[in-house]
Amino acid sequence: MSLRKYRLVKQRSEWACGVACVASALGIPYDQATERLEAYKCERIDALPYGLELEPIIQVMQDAGIVLTVETGSRRWPLGTIVFLSETRGRYKDGGHYLLRSPDGWMDPWVNYPEKPRQSAYRERLPYGTSVQVALVPKQKCEVQQIVKR
């Protein structure tokens, strides 16, 4: 089942922002993204360590044919980039938060954090007072072809 890529996806649990970003980036159902990510995490999303490290996201995206690079320090992120906002300071201290760069802005799977019920929305820019700790940036097709030729 294929859904529209870069659609709004609300995270369903406390630690599932990465799940929502992957579901939106790949245009797949939330439950399917959860299943795939948990297979690589080898544990439920809400099991310790809570949430998702980068590796399960990288693996699921790679399985879908999207090669990602891990980057820091940029100010401009291309379409399809999944950023992890700092868990060391700011609004998401001690937990961090994933957002997805879409054609409509940043898809935030819990835009009204920490309020409930959770809501998703597109943001024009990253939330005030946050910083990107790390970004998963899709490689351009020409970059991937060069890697394959080597």
DSSP string across 88-108: SSSTTTTT-EEEEEETTEEEE
Say whether the peptide bond before residue 127 is cis (omega within 30 degrees of 0): no
Q: How far is CA 124 from CA 21, 63, 64, 100, in A?
A: 16, 30, 27, 12
The pLDDT, as a whole number, for residue 144 is 47
Q: Do the Cβ atoms of 18 and 58 come closer than 8 Å?
A: no
Amino acid residing at 141: K
Q: Between 115 and 140, whose confidence is greater?
A: 115
- 60: three-class secondary structure by DSSP: helix
pLDDT tens profile 65-120? 999 999 998 878 999 999 999 999 889 999 999 999 999 999 999 999 999 999 99
**Which sequence spans correspond to the domains of the chain?**
17-149
The model's pTM is: 0.91
The pLDDT, as a whole number, for residue 109 is 98
The pLDDT, as a whole number, for residue 105 is 98
Retrieve residue 109's tokens.
């799977």
At which residue do the structure tokens 């291309």 appear? 78
State the CATH class of domain 17-149. alpha beta
The pLDDT, as a whole number, for residue 73 is 82
**Residue 142 binned pLDDT confidence (cut-offs 50, 70, 90):** low
pLDDT tens profile 12-65? 999 999 999 999 999 999 999 999 999 999 999 999 888 999 999 999 999 999
